């Protein structure tokens, strides 16, 4: 189930109106480098999960923040345990690299600190999967393959940072609660009333025999109690107190 932006701001202790649109350099310097060296992040806003276990359309609900693009730290699953080639199988399809890798060199640095790779999700088994509109930017640290950790069992590129989005304009995660509210906004008490078929009106409850004089209508149905009478029992003071001070 998706979460509302306001709920995420409250849970993550974010200021109202917070927006998260980091540049490539900011993602590498302030987030991936810190994650690789076990330092605290500026904002704990990026979820950690095995991204390759899911279809991309299932991931927005697992993100900590975002409605049009989502960020994740994910372990880099390798095709072979001792190799460097990543395994791109995911969910019911696979991710396929597109274009050339882009070195990322922040201002003030003499060489790239990271690599940005673009990937497209294909639905189905390779090589005949159907191309989708789901795009992922994968960020990894440069020269990480040669930077072994002290225990020799964990490398700096064991974790990568991914930005996920759908290139189709207008695609946006809508929390289930908001979807339900949208549907309910078009419903009224009359929406649940079953009306009789017009063809049956002459046979049920209405005497259409000319010899009987004027047509006899059935007794009026009892008035339907409005579903919205709940507000008549509310105390104004209780209602104001429920909102608390602004």
pLDDT in tens, 210-222: 454 454 545 554 4
- 75 close to 106: Cβ distance less than 8 angstroms: no
Q: Which two tokens stand for residue 63?
A: 């993100």
Strand ranges in 124-198 using DSSP code E only, listed in sequence order:
130-141, 159-166
pTM beyond 0.75, yes or no? no
150-208: pLDDT as tens digits: 444 445 557 899 999 999 976 665 554 444 444 443 334 443 444 444 444 444 444 44
Q: How far is Cα 185 from Cα 191, in angstroms, rounded to an integer?
A: 11
Q: Are 134 and 120 in contact (CB under 8 A)?
A: yes
Over the stretch 44-103, which tens digit does the pLDDT of each residue have? 899 999 999 999 999 999 999 888 999 999 987 665 555 556 778 999 999 999 999 999
Query: In which element (H, E) is residue 9 found?
Result: helix 5-11
Q: How many helices (H) and strands (E) does the chain have?
A: 5, 7
DSSP 53-81: GS-GGGSGGGSSS-SSEEEEEEE--BSST
């Amino acid at each position: 189930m998706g979460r509302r932006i306001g709920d995420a701001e409250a849970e993550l202790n974010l200021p109202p109106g917070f927006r998260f649109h980091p540049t490539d350099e900011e993602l590498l310097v302030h987030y991936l480098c810190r994650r690789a060296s076990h330092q605290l992040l500026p904002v704990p806003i990026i979820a950690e999960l095995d991204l390759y276990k899911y279809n991309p359309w299932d991931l927005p609900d697992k993100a900590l923040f975002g409605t049009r693009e989502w960020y994740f730290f994910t372990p880099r699953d390798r095709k072979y345990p001792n190799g460097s080639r990543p395994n791109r199988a995911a969910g019911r399809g696979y991710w396929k690299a597109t274009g050339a890798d882009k070195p990322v060199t922040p201002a003030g640095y003499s060489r790239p600190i990271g690599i940005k790779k673009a990937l497209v999700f294909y639905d189905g088994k390779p090589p005949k999967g159907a191309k989708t509109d789901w795009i992922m930017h994968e960020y990894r640290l440069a020269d990480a393959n040669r930077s072994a950790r002290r225990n020799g069992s964990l490398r700096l590129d064991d974790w990568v940072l991914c930005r996920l989005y759908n290139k189709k304009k207008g695609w946006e995660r809508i929390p289930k609660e908001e979807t339900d509210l949208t549907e309910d906004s078009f419903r009224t008490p009359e929406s649940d009333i079953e009306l009789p078929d017009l063809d049956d009106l002459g046979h049920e409850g209405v005497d259409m025999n000319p010899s009987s004089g004027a047509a006899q209508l059935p007794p009026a149905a009892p008035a339907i109690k409005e579903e919205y009478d709940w507000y008549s029992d509310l105390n104004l003071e209780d209602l104001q107190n429920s909102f608390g001070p602004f």
